[in-house]
Amino acid sequence: MHFSAPIHRLKRRARLLSRDTGCPLHQALDRIAAGEGFQSWSHLASSAASESPALSVLSRLSAGDLVLLAARPGHGKTRFGLELALRAGRLDRKGYFFTLDYHERDVAERSSALGFDLATAGRSVRVDTSDEVSAGYVIGHLERERCPAVVVIDYLQLLDQNRTNPGLGDQIAALRRYVTASGAICAVISQIDRFFELSDKAMPDLSDVRLPNPLDLSAFDKAIFLHDGRIRMERAT
Residues 136, 39, single domain; the answer is no
- Among 7-11, 66-70, 121-125, 196-200, whose mean pLDDT is lowest? 7-11
Query: Residue 138 carries which side chain, given as an amino acid letter?
Result: V
The answer to whether residue 224 is domain-embedded is yes
Please state the rounded mean pLDDT for residues 94-105.
Answer: 96
Residue 6's pLDDT band, with cuts at 50, 70 and 90, is: low
> Coil, strand, or helix at residue 233?
strand
List of residues 6+ apart from 90 with CB closer than 8 A: 6, 7, 55, 58, 59
Residues 77, 33, single domain; the answer is no
Report the distance separating Cα 41 and Cα 30, nearest Å.
Answer: 5
| DSSP H or E segment with residue 178 | helix 168-182
Residues 101, 16, single domain; the answer is no
- pLDDT over 60 at 1, yes or no: no
The answer to whether residue 94 is domain-embedded is yes
| pLDDT tens profile 52-93 | 789 889 989 999 999 999 999 999 999 999 999 999 998 999
Decide: 76 and 226 in contact? Cβ < 8 Å: yes
Q: What are phi and psi of 166, to 5 degrees?
A: -60, 165
Please state the rounded mean pLDDT for residues 139-154.
Answer: 96
Number of structural domains in the chain: 2
Quick one: which of 165, 181, 107, 177 has its CA closest to 133? 165
Residues 20, 68, single domain; the answer is no
CB atoms within 10 A of CB 4: 11
Report the distance separating Cα 66 and Cα 237, nearest Å.
Answer: 11
Decide: 61 and 54 in contact? Cβ < 8 Å: no
Residues 21, 91, single domain; the answer is no
Residues 58, 28, single domain; the answer is no
- pLDDT over 70 at 50, yes or no: no
Q: What is the CATH number of the domain that holds 98?
A: 3.40.50.300
Q: What pLDDT is recorded for position 65?
A: 98
- The domain of 93 spans 53-235
Please state the rounded mean pLDDT for residues 96-108.
Answer: 95
Q: What are phi and psi of 98, to 5 degrees?
A: -105, 125
| pLDDT tens profile 191-207 | 999 999 999 999 999 99
The answer to whether residue 1 is domain-embedded is no
Residues 30, 126, single domain; the answer is no
The answer to whether residue 158 is domain-embedded is yes
The percentage of the chain sitting over the pLDDT mark of 70, rounded to a whole number, equals: 95
- pLDDT over 60 at 49, yes or no: no
Decide: 118 and 170 in contact? Cβ < 8 Å: no
Q: What is the pTM of this model?
A: 0.79
Residues 25, 137, single domain; the answer is no
The answer to whether residue 2 is domain-embedded is no
CA distances from 49 to 12, 46, 54, 232 (A): 19, 5, 11, 18
| DSSP H or E segment with residue 108 | helix 104-113
